[in-house]
Structure 1
C-alpha cells in the first residue's frame, strides 16, 4: 500500500472516531455527563489554555519533564554502556536490574514523597528514577547490538577508543538510541503525571486529577487532549529523526 493511501486510511479512522465522539452523546448512546460531545470539549480546551492558572501548570509540568529527562538519560546510558562493556559487572548487576525493572515503579512513589516531600524535587526524582531503568536496559541492548567485526576492524587500523566510540558505536547504536529516547520520554512523562496526580499542588496532572475528582468531565477531557497532543508531537519528531538515522545501520 502506498504512503498516501496509508495516510488517507489513518485520516478516515480518525474522522470516524471523532465523529462518533461528537454524535454518540448527542444522540443519547452515551451519557453526556460522562462523555461530553467533542465540540464542547474543544471549546473548553480553548478556554482552559487561555487561563493563566493552566498556562502556569503546563510550564511547571514541562520543566519537570525536561529536568527529569536530562538527569535520567545520561545516568541510564552510562550505566547501560558500563554493564555491556564489562562482562563481570554485567554478570553481577544484570539479573538484579531486570528484577527491579519488572517491579511496578508506582510502589516506590510514597518513598520519594517521604524523602523529598511534596514538590518539584519529588516529581523530578521519581520521574528520573522510572526513566533511568528504561534507558539503562535499552543502552545495554544497543551496545550489545554493535557487530564485533566492526570493532575488530577499527582496532586493527589503530583506532583509538574515542574514535571507535564516535565512528563505530554511535552510528550503529543511533537508531536504537532514538527509539530509546522516544520510549523513555513516554515513561518520563507518565512518571511526572503519576507524581502530580498522586501528591502535588501544582502541574497539569494536579489539575486533571482535581477535574476528575470533581466530575468536571469537559475540563478532564480537554486536559487529556492537551497532553495527548504534546506526547504525539514529541513522538513523531523522534520518529522522524529515527527514520533519518536508520540508514546508518547496515
Structure 2
C-alpha cells in the first residue's frame, strides 16, 4: 500500500514538473517570469557549488539548528508544566489562543527593535515561530498518555520518576516528534522570512536580492533549495516518528 502511495506521489510531482516545463517552453506563461525546470534545476546545482552561496546556506542552516535547539527543550518544558497544572493551563490558554490566531510575521519589527538585525534576531524569531507549536503538541502528548498504563504503573509501586521515564516518555515520544517536525517547519520559515526582511547573509537574503533584481532563474533555484531542505527535514523526522510509534499499530 505504501509503495502505491509513493508511486502516485511521484506521478503527481512528475506531472506538475512536466506541465511547468511545457507551459514555459510553449509560451503559455512568460519564461522570463517563470523559467522552466530545465533552467531552474541546473541553476540550483550551480548555486550549490558556489562557495559564496554555500556561506549563505550554511548561515541559514546554523541559525535554524540553533533556534530549534533552544525551542525544543523550552517548549517541551512549558508544555509539560501547563499540562500537569490545570490551573496554569487555563490561565495561559487565552495567551496561546491569541498568539496562535495572529500571523507571527507581524511581530518581526519588534524582534528587530529588541535584538537588532544580526544572528540573535534570526534565532529569536525562529524560536518564536516554533515554540508555540511545540508547547501545544507537548501538552497534547501529556494528556494523551493512556490512563490505564498510569494506573497499572502506580499499582506496581512505580515512583513518579519511573512513571515518567517508563510510561510517559514512551507514550509521548511519537507526539513529541510530530510537534518537533511541525516546529522545525515553522522554524525554517521564520528564519528565512527574517533574513528576507533584513540580513547580510542567509538564504532569505539571497531570495530577496534575486527577486528585487529580477534574477528569476536564481530566485526559483533558491526557492527549490529551500523547499528541498524543508522536505528533507520533514521526511527524516517523519521516518523517526513512524519507527518510535510502531507500537501503536502493533
Are the counterparts in 2 of residues 171 and 248 from structure 1 also a CA contact under 8 Å?
no
Alignment partner, residue 101 of structure 1: 100
Alignment partner, residue 68 of structure 1: 67
Deviation at 1:185, TM superposition (A): 0.4
Deviation at 1:86, TM superposition (A): 1.1
Alignment partner, residue 210 of structure 2: 211
Alignment partner, residue 198 of structure 1: 197
The verdict on how the C-alpha distance between 1:9 and 1:249 changes in structure 2, with shifts beyond 3 A counting, is closer
Deviation at 1:5, TM superposition (A): 2.5
Are the counterparts in 2 of residues 175 and 249 from structure 1 also a CA contact under 8 Å?
no
Alignment partner, residue 112 of structure 1: 111
Q: TM-score, normalised by structure 1?
A: 0.96
Deviation at 1:35, TM superposition (A): 0.5
> What is the Cα-based RMSD across aligned positions, in Å?
1.3
Alignment partner, residue 222 of structure 1: 221
Cα distance in structure 1, aligned partners of 2:155 and 2:34 = 65
Deviation at 1:7, TM superposition (A): 2.3
Alignment partner, residue 45 of structure 2: 46
Cα distance in structure 1, aligned partners of 2:10 and 2:89 = 46
Secondary structure (helix, strand or coil) at the match of 1:107 reads helix
CA deviations 1:23-61 (Å, max 9, x no partner) are 211111110011111111112112211211100001100
Residue 149 (1) aligns with residue 145 (2): no
CA deviations 1:193-237 (Å, max 9, x no partner) are 110011111101100111011111100010011111111111111
Residue 55 (1) aligns with residue 54 (2): yes
Alignment partner, residue 92 of structure 1: 91
Cα distance in structure 2, aligned partners of 1:7 and 1:176 = 24
Which stretch shifts more, 55-64 or 231-240?
A: 231-240
Q: What does 1:176-187 correspond to in 2, within 5 Å?
A: 176-187=175-186
Cα distance in structure 2, aligned partners of 1:126 and 1:150 = 39
Alignment partner, residue 171 of structure 1: 170
Secondary structure (helix, strand or coil) at the match of 1:158 reads coil
Deviation at 1:247, TM superposition (A): 2.4
CA deviations 1:97-136 (Å, max 9, x no partner) are 2222222111111111011111100000111012111101
Instruction: Work out the number of aligned pairs and report it.
Output: 249
Structure 2 alignment gaps of length 5 or more:
none
